Amino acid sequence: MARNAWFETVAVAQRRAQKRLPAPVYSALLAGSEKGTTYADNTAAFSELGLAPRVADMSSERDLSVTVLGMDLAMPVLISPTGVQAVHPDGEVAVARAAANRGIAMSLSSFASKSVEEVGAVTDKLNYQVYWQGSRDTIAARLDRARAAGVKSIILTLDWSFSNGRDWGSPNIPEKLNLRAMAEFAPFAITKPAWLAEYLKRGTLPDLTVPNLVIGDEPAPTFFGAYGEWISTPPATWEDLAWLREQWDGPVMLKGITRVDDALRAVDAGMSAISVSNHGGNNLDSTPASIRLLPDIAAAVGDQIEVLLDGGIRRGSDVAKALALGAKAVMIGRAYLWGLAANGQGGVENVLDILRGGLDSAVLGLGHSSVRDLSPDDLWIPPGFTRRLGTHVG
């Protein structure tokens, strides 16, 4: 572990991650498609919202806890699924341990580098994220595997439309870290000795396979092999969603909602939760920031479904703003990835402590004793801030 490993904000963790990671790995995390308009708006929109603090009659105790997807969480923050490789050798197991230690839920991507069994062994608050990939039988078999590993809820992510191309250049990620790829990758890796040392300490190199897409005794497919299966699967229909709903007797979240009409259809399809999300700005560039879309969606669905938000959360006050605008909880992506890259499990715990401290400070400053009391009255919302997509009001 590095000396002075503690960091005080997520921005510091990001700078450390950039210093520590090989350039292609860092840029795979940064992502953001095309011009990065959505990626930038996700964080910029939070800065446009003002807080309306009070000065007296404040509460000396605050309750940050919340129940989401049937799980009691110590604060309204969940780990969002990210299919990333080679950030840290302990990968999603380190993230899940940190989440468990801080009393929040882990969500594991089906493109993760660690198996659902390994992650299920360290947390009992586990969601498993699937894309619409493969035949119904294949999907059902993967759900069976997740159920056996102790997964409580399924997150179905449907907003990915295989957009590619970034104005700042996509990273060159090898299919496998064989000798040829290592030779190409070496100039990046040898300038990052701390990152490489974490792997070498464990006698391993990033293997770039996706263990959760295996059924039975097959070998794990490569990241790109699995991507091939996904891209050649016909996109899901609303009937497919209803079918998936029947396959899982616990909560199911639909992630990637941006439109009011889709949010209402998710209610009709029997979903337990939605996440208002644009995939962290990684997919269709020019989709508005998810926080701009939240108020109209939350108002339209009311309490028929749990509403979460992800995209752009970097501070505890961002969590407060999202809750004030109607989210029950938020999910974080890059914030914990920067922490993981900077300092493994301790770095993720550090990020969660930053968010908790910032949220507690906001709830205190806004004069509340519980996160459940946050409302639009706590904010200054600039005229024209919100965006409403989808015309059907229901």
How far apart are CB 251 and ligand FMN at their closest, in Å? 16
Instruction: Give the closest residue to 256 by CA, choosing from 279, 233, 236, 239.
Output: 279
Based on the shown chain and the rule CB under 6 A, indicate whether residue 258 belongs to the binding site for ligand FMN.
no
CA dihedral over 41, 47, 52, 54, signed as positive or negative: positive
Give the range of 53-61, 66-74, 182-190, 330-338 binding ligand FMN by CB under 6 A.
330-338
C-alpha dihedral, 277 to 228 to 231 to 234, nearest 10°: -130
Cβ nearer to ligand FMN, comparing 84 with 126: 84
Based on the shown chain and the rule CB under 6 A, indicate whether residue 312 belongs to the binding site for ligand FMN.
yes
Contacts of 134 (CB under 8 A, 6+ apart): 142, 229, 230, 233
Say if residues 161 and 187 touch (Cβ distance below 8 Å): no
Length of the chain counted residue by residue: 394
Say if residues 78 and 329 touch (Cβ distance below 8 Å): yes
How far apart are CB 257 and ligand FMN at their closest, in Å? 11
* Per-position DSSP letters for 347-383, written without gaps between them: HHHHHHHHHHHHHHHHHHHTT-SBGGG--GGGEE--T
CA dihedral over 172, 107, 386, 48, signed as positive or negative: negative
What does the alpha-carbon distance between residue 283 and residue 129 come to, in Å, rounded to a whole number? 17
Count of residues interacting with ligand FMN (CB under 6 A): 26
Say if residues 253 and 275 touch (Cβ distance below 8 Å): yes
Based on the shown chain and the rule CB under 6 A, indicate whether residue 82 belongs to the binding site for ligand FMN.
yes
The residues assigned a catalytic role are 279
Based on the shown chain and the rule CB under 6 A, indicate whether residue 334 belongs to the binding site for ligand FMN.
yes
Query: Residue 288 corresponds to which tokens in the numbers above?
Result: 């508005």
Find the binding residues for ligand FMN in span 182-201 (CB under 6 A). Answer: none
Based on the shown chain and the rule CB under 6 A, indicate whether residue 42 belongs to the binding site for ligand FMN.
yes
Based on the shown chain and the rule CB under 6 A, indicate whether residue 315 belongs to the binding site for ligand FMN.
no
Q: Which of 277, 287, 317, 386 binds ligand FMN (CB under 6 A)?
A: 277
The residue number with the shortest CB distance to ligand FMN is: 333
How far apart are CB 65 and ligand FMN at their closest, in Å? 22
Cβ nearer to ligand FMN, comparing 255 with 387: 255
Task: Mark 280-299 with x for binding to ligand FMN (rule: CB under 6 A) and - for no binding.
Answer: x-x-----------------
Q: Which of 307, 332, 354, 379 binds ligand FMN (CB under 6 A)?
A: 332
Cβ nearer to ligand FMN, comparing 312 with 346: 312
| Cα-only R_g, the chain | 20
Query: Residue 293 corresponds to which tokens in the numbers above?
Result: 């879309």
Residues that bind ligand FMN (CB under 6 A): 28-29, 31, 42, 80-84, 109, 111, 129, 157, 255, 277, 279-280, 282, 310-313, 332-335
